[in-house]
Amino acid sequence: MHRTLGVCYYPEHWPEDQWARDAALMVETGLSWVRIAEFAWARMEPAPDQFDWAWLDRAIETLGAAGLQVVLGTPTATPPRWMLDKYPDMLPVDAAGQVRKFGSRRHYDFSHLGYRGEARRIARLMAERYGSNPYVHAWQIDNEYDCHDTTLSYSSAATRGFQDWLAQTYQSIGALNRAWGNVFWSMDYDDFDQIALPNQTVTEPNPSHVLAFRQYSSDQVVAFNRAQAEEIRAYSAAPLIHNYMGRITSFDHWAVGRDLEIASWDSYPIGFLSDRIEGTAEEKQFYLRQGHPDNQAFHHDLYHAVGRGRMWVMEQQPGPVNWAPYNPAPLPGMARLWAWEAFAHGAETVCYFRWRQAPFAQEQNHAGLLRPDSQPAPALAEAATVAQEIADLPAVDRGQAPVALIFDYQSAWAWDTQPQGADFDMFRLGFAAYRALRRAGLSVDILAPDCADLSAYKLVFAPGLMTISDPLRAALSTYKGIALIGPRSDTKTDQLTIPSPMGPNLPGVDVTVALTESIPPSDAIALEEGGQFRHWFEHLEGSATVFGKTVSGQPAVMGGDHLRYLAGWPDDATFDRLVRALCAEAGVMTYDLPQGVRIKETSTHRFIFNYAPEPREWNGVTLAPAGVHWEEL
């Protein structure tokens, strides 16, 4: 499949006589797609039920006529100011009970059914008008769910919604009290209407209470998205897309993804580096103008799975952004590298964000492909290069990965709720495993926790999986590769209580977590074969084979030929050793890569990326900083 490039554009920001010139230059640059309209509700409907579609008609016509395919966004992340007059209580409320006010974006509560109806209404109106427009080739619903921490809201609407959800889920209040263990501190409820949201309690609330609220809140995101999807589908055959942000775990992306055709995400490699990705100060300085070398790949692989095989980058950082603590410029070449890395991981389209830097409002210091004065910014030429390279290179596919990693959002909520160690974080654990696999040169598929078939993989990692779903348990029971499960896996019920018998309860493997320790950064559990566990260590018991020990003689890994349980959180060097040993055993080839070099193998090619700020040599290939190389396999 030939890959394509696009760009995000805001015709409402510019004089109309500029649109055609912009469109022509987009096409000349080699761009195929243009995303528009996702923040323009106030221009479409300046007052309740007073519509102005004409400008949008003309914008689509102008862009389409120039040869661009339009992704049309629903503007529900930015309800106009008049919406608050209809629904004064639609604003989200933070955990401290403070209303989050109008004046920026995402000022709505997913639980507010009145606003959900409004979102459905504007989506239907857009779909009616543009559902068969020949230039509209895809739809984006809303924009970056949860951005600015908006999944959780502690509003009256959320309270009522949560009480209803609990009533439907548990049916009887006694069942809820028993499921949550409310006897513990006389926390029993007499009625669902007594149950408040789990914020601002004197000390920590019941973790089952919190987990239920997390599940409820995720369900509202799914419902909000589905409401719009239903409306658009009634009028349009074009694929539906949402643009997820990176490293967000507050809602179940697998569930949202099931209602859409394509998963896209917004990739800001440098914006994320300093405070949204773990790493030492030295690493962050080394990758300052490139971004973390595994962050983009992880999200490509994750969203490729969320999109069931269809993935885009909807927003690609082109230069300095405005919202990170510090905002340096990318190394020359990175805007090209990031695009090619996305393609190698299966992206169909990469859209740069944005066409022209806006001279006003919140993002006026966020670079685009053009400067505010319409002069080219550095990334424009790189985009043009990529466009040319796409045309010259044979079609790229993603290929079949030999290794899989299971990633679960419910577990993320559980461990947020009950970290037990201050630095335990689900994303961090999953990403640590992923990084180790990548450092060994492996291509990785990320799987949902309800996957029923592992047969394509020689090796499967399942760290931090609160529970094992029935389909996965069935798949594991007949699995012929090696599955490394743990740490902190299958040791809780889906109510975040301790199961009986205590877990893990792996099919055919006698191993039990007898005792759990969280480990401060000053300490570690040394392993007999070298390396150490950090953060987390479980004392294992049972009759299963011991595959490795701590220096004090406790099991580090236990299990059988196919299913093994990992007792701790390995540090990077130990993860590297484990990956290489398991790959050797499972017959998966690994590589030695220099610092900053990463590879991705597709069915036909090997892509090599240099994230280092220095030249690198590998496998006979020399790569400049930000260099990309591909070769046929």
Residues annotated as part of the active site: 144, 315
Stretch touching a copy of itself by CB under 8 A, among 101-109, 227-235, 253-261, 406-414? 101-109
Q: Does residue 79 interact with a copy of itself by CB under 8 A?
A: yes
**Residue 150 burial class via C-beta count within 10 angstroms: exposed 0-12, middle 13-18, buried 19 and up:** buried
Which is nearer to a copy of itself, 182 or 228 (by Cβ)? Answer: 182
To a copy of itself, the closest distance from the beta carbon of 586 in angstroms equals 33
Assigned token pair, 328: 């340096």
User: Min. distance of Cβ 390 from a copy of itself in angstroms?
Assistant: 26
Nearest approach in angstroms of CB 41 to a copy of itself is 5
522 binds a copy of itself (CB under 8 A): yes
Nearest to 399 by CA among 589, 602, 630: 602
Q: Which residues pair with 177 in a beta bridge?
A: none
Q: Does 12 bind a copy of itself (CB under 8 A)?
A: yes
Angle subtended at Cα 433 by Cα 431 and Cα 435, rounded to the nearest 5 degrees: 65
Considering the rule CB under 8 A, would residue 271 count as an interface residue with a copy of itself? no
φ, ψ of residue 415 in degrees (nearest 5)? -80, -25
Check if the beta carbon of residue 140 is closer than 8 Å to that of residue 243. Answer: yes
Q: Per CB under 8 A, which of residues 562..591 are in contact with a copy of itself?
A: none
Part in contact with a copy of itself (CB under 8 A); list of ranges 160-168, 236-244, 367-375, 472-480: 367-375
- Binding-site member from 30, 39, 61, 67 for a copy of itself (CB under 8 A): 39
Part in contact with a copy of itself (CB under 8 A); list of ranges 128-136, 190-198, 345-353, 399-407: 190-198
Long-range contacts of 291-294 (CB under 8 A, 24+ apart): 291/334, 291/338, 291/611, 293/438, 293/596, 293/598, 293/609, 293/611, 294/431, 294/434, 294/435, 294/438, 294/598
CA 451-448-474 angle, 5° bins: 25
Residue among 189 and 618 whose Cβ is closer to a copy of itself: 189
In the shown chain, the binding pattern of residues 326 to 365 toward a copy of itself, with x for contact by CB under 8 A and - for none, equals: xxxx---------------------------xxxxxxxxx
Length of the chain: 633
Nearer to a copy of itself, 64 or 319 (CB): 319
Backbone angles phi, psi at 632, to 5 degrees: -70, 145
Of 82 and 170, nearer to a copy of itself (C-beta) is 82
Residue 182 CB, nearest distance to a copy of itself (Å)?
7
> What b-and-e string marks burial along 89-125, b requiring 16 or more CB atoms within 10 Å of the CB?
ebbbbeeeeebbeeeebbbbbbbbbebbebbbbbbbb
Instruction: Among 18, 104, 595, 603, indicate the residue that binds a copy of itself (CB under 8 A).
Output: 104
- Pairing type for strands 616-618 and 347-352 reads unpaired
- Fill in the per-residue mask, 48 to 77: x = in contact with a copy of itself (CB under 8 A), - = not in contact: ---------------------------x--
Our CB check for a copy of itself shows the closer of 364 and 603 to be: 364
Per the CB < 8 A criterion, the answer to whether 336 and 290 are in contact is no
CA atoms of 13 and 187, how far apart (whole Å): 54
Query: Does position 614 bind a copy of itself by CB under 8 A?
Result: no
Which of 583, 391, 347 shows the shortest CA–CA distance to 481?
A: 583
Nearer to a copy of itself, 17 or 190 (CB): 190
* Residue 186 binds a copy of itself, judged by CB under 8 A: yes
Nearer to a copy of itself, 203 or 543 (CB): 203
Of 131-139, 370-378, 403-411, 459-467: span binding a copy of itself (CB under 8 A):
370-378
325 binds a copy of itself per the rule CB under 8 A: yes
Q: Is residue 163 close enough to count as binding a copy of itself by CB under 8 A?
A: no
CB of 475 to a copy of itself, least distance (A): 27
Nearest to 318 by CA among 24, 31, 15, 87: 31
C-alpha to C-alpha distance for 243 and 267, rounded to whole angstroms: 10
Nearer Cβ to a copy of itself, position 16 or 523? Answer: 523
Show the tokens assigned to 207.
């973790």
Q: Strands 628-632 and 605-610, how do they pair? A: antiparallel
Q: Is the dihedral of CA 52, 54, 58, 64 positive or negative?
A: positive
207 binds a copy of itself (CB under 8 A): yes
